[in-house]
A = this chain, B = another copy of it.
């Protein structure tokens, strides 16, 4: 067999461009999605139905199911009427509207396979249409089952994160901090955070990216809250900058979060973004957990994740 010579060079890039004029303003939206619109995708790729079906909101999904069911029944009712209602035994209707509703309900009984049989097909054509409709009903239902399972089992980290990041006092100096907590009852373990700072270098008009060093970038379990801390010391690009500087640099802090969801046994990812308007200069987060009164447990108040109090920063 053939040997491969490996290089040791392992370089990573963000996947964003550097030409400031080429790109939109915010890289990551507040919901954690990338602020990118695609165009010109190949036709077959443009529609990823399954992806849409499992990510759409529940009310839209239910509306879609009801619309599909109604439309299919209207369609088959019209087909049965075209075939001739004399081929549907038990059709008691006299007017066209009555025929339609008999055909409509017969269709619904066929598609759901309930098949009471009070109305039933007797002619060849009606029998054929009914045989086809049953199959379509079963396949639609098989797809529905798969999509519902897909919706349920899709892994999602739902992090509660503070609306603002703060510049807080930290070990005699200052630090950039924001706080996250798990907003679901799933257990997130082996969590990691990576904090990127994106800004426009006004000298070169290029967008630059820096990874900010974190006090801790791993946590065994997100059982309580996690205050992510970037100390503004040493070679931190934030050293000496003011809030106005951040705004002029069109600064954005993007946190890539990764954890293992014990319930679904899957790695989940999410992103949190703070732009320069979402920074509070001189504040610290207030406690959000305490010992339970009636048990030996700890109580975590998830809605307090963004609570902070203003406080003076040490003058550097």
* Residue from A33, A39, A54, A130 with most neighbouring chain B CB atoms (10 Å): A39
Q: Is A51's CB within 8 Å of the partner chain B? A: yes
Question: In chain A, residues 114-162, which have Cβ atoms closer than 8 Å to a Cβ of chain B?
Answer: 114-118, 120-122, 124, 127-128, 130-131, 134-135, 137-139, 141-150, 152-155, 158, 160
Interface hub of A14, A51, A130, A303 (most chain B Cβ within 10 A): A14
Binding site secondary structure of chain A: mixed
By the criterion CB–CB under 8 Å, are B138 and A149 in contact?
A: no
Give chain A interface residues in 6-51, CB to chain B under 8 Å. Answer: 6-7, 9-18, 21-27, 33-42, 45, 48, 50-51
Q: A277 within 8 Å of B by Cβ?
A: no
A110 to B150, CA, bound (A): 27
Q: Which of B24, B25, B45, B298 contacts A183 (CB 8 A)?
A: B45
A238 within 8 A of B: no
Contact status B183-A42, CB under 8 Å: yes
Chain B positions within 8 Å of A135 at CB level: 65-66, 69, 112
Within the complex, what minimum Cβ distance (angstroms) separates A236 from chain B?
10
Which of the segments A167-175, A240-248, A283-291, A308-316 contacts the partner chain? A283-291
In the bound complex, residues from chain B placing their C-beta under 8 Å from that of A263 are 51, 54-55, 154
Q: Once bound together, how far apart are the Cα atoms of A213 and B6, in whole Å?
A: 8
Cβ contact within 8 Å between A37 and B144: no
How many angstroms from the CA of A191 to the CA of B5 in the assembled complex?
18
Query: How far is B215's CA from A289's CA once the two chains are assembled, in angstroms?
Result: 36
Residue A203 at the chain B interface, CB threshold 8 Å: no
**B1 contacts A18, C-beta separation under 8 Å:** yes
Q: Find chain B residues with CB under 8 A from A260 CB.
A: 267, 269
Q: Measured between alpha carbons, how far is A263 from B155 in the docked complex, in Å? A: 8
- Scoring A1, A138, A183, A290 by chain B CB atoms within 10 A of each residue's CB, the highest score goes to A1
Hey, which chain B residues are within 8 Å of A83, CB to CB? none
- Return 24 A-B CB contacts under 8 Å, by A number: A2-B16, A2-B206, A3-B11, A4-B14, A5-B210, A15-B219, A15-B226, A17-B224, A22-B291, A24-B297, A24-B298, A36-B224, A40-B301, A105-B127, A109-B130, A112-B131, A112-B135, A114-B115, A116-B120, A138-B144, A143-B148, A146-B149, A150-B152, A196-B220
